[in-house]
C-alpha cells in the first residue's frame, strides 16, 4: 500500500495534522500519522497574560527564545509562535484562509497515534494531547501516555519525549511497534 507516514513533535505534529486535514490530496497520500506532544492549543498551561507576552515578544525578537528559557532544543519561528498563541487566545484553530482545522481534524480517516509525556506540564500537558486525540475522527486511533503510571521508567517532559536516551530506549520502540502493527 503506497503512502507516507507523517510524524511530528509539538508544532510539527500540528503541521502534520493540519496538512492532512486541510488538503484532500495530502490526506489520500498519508497512511498514518504520529503526533507527539501536540496539544489542543487553548488547553496548554499558559495564562492569558503569558500567551499575549509570548506572542508579542516572538514578533518583536524575530523568534521565540525557547533555548534561553529551557523550553526546547531550538528557538521557534516568530510567525509560528504568534499564530499558535492567537489560537490559544481565541480558542479557535483556524488557518489564515479561514479553514477550521478542528472540523477538518474531526473528518480525518487516517490511522493516528497521539503520544503525550506525563511530565509535560506546560507545552503539551497530557489532558491537552488527549483532547486532540478525542477530536480526531479516525476510528483507528491510539493514545499513548508515556510516564511511570503507564509502565515507563520516567515521566517524560516535552523535549525528553523525543530526544532523551530514555525516549530512544522506551518511547521510540512503542511508536515503531504501533507503526508496524498499523501498517501491517
pLDDT of residue 111: 97
pLDDT at 14: 94
pLDDT digits (tens, 9 = 90+) for 45-73: 778 888 888 888 888 889 988 888 877 77
Q: What is the pLDDT of residues 85-106, one digit of tens each?
A: 888 889 999 998 999 999 999 9
Sites in the chain below the pLDDT cut of 70: 1
Residue 16's pLDDT is 95
What pLDDT was estimated at residue 36?
A: 98
Give, in order, the Cα–Cα distances in Å from 182 to each of 5, 26, 139, 141, 142: 11, 19, 12, 10, 10
pLDDT at 1: 52
Amino acid at each position: 500500500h503506497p503512502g507516507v507516514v507523517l510524524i511530528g513533535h509539538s508544532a510539527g505534529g500540528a503541521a502534520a495534522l493540519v496538512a492532512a486535514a486541510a488538503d484532500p490530496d495530502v490526506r489520500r497520500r498519508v497512511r498514518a500519522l504520529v503526533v507527539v506532544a501536540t496539544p489542543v492549543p487553548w488547553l496548554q498551561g499558559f495564562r492569558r497574560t503569558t500567551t499575549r507576552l509570548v506572542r508579542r515578544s516572538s514578533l518583536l525578537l524575530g523568534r521565540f527564545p525557547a533555548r534561553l528559557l529551557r523550553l526546547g532544543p531550538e528557538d521557534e519561528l516568530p510567525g509560528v509562535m504568534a499564530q499558535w498563541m492567537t489560537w490559544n487566545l481565541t480558542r479557535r484553530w483556524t488557518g489564515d484562509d479561514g479553514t477550521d482545522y478542528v472540523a477538518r481534524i474531526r473528518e480525518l480517516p487516517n490511522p493516528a497515534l497521539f503520544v503525550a509525556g506525563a511530565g509535560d506540564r506546560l507545552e503539551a500537558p497530557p489532558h491537552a494531547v488527549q483532547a486532540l486525540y478525542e477530536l480526531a475522527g479516525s476510528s483507528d486511533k491510539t493514545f499513548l501516555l508515556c510516564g511511570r503510571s503507564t509502565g515507563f521508567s520516567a515521566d517524560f517532559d516535552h523535549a525528553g519525549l523525543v530526544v532523551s536516551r530514555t525516549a530512544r530506549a522506551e518511547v521510540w520502540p512503542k511508536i515503531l511497534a504501533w507503526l508496524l502493527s498499523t501498517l501491517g
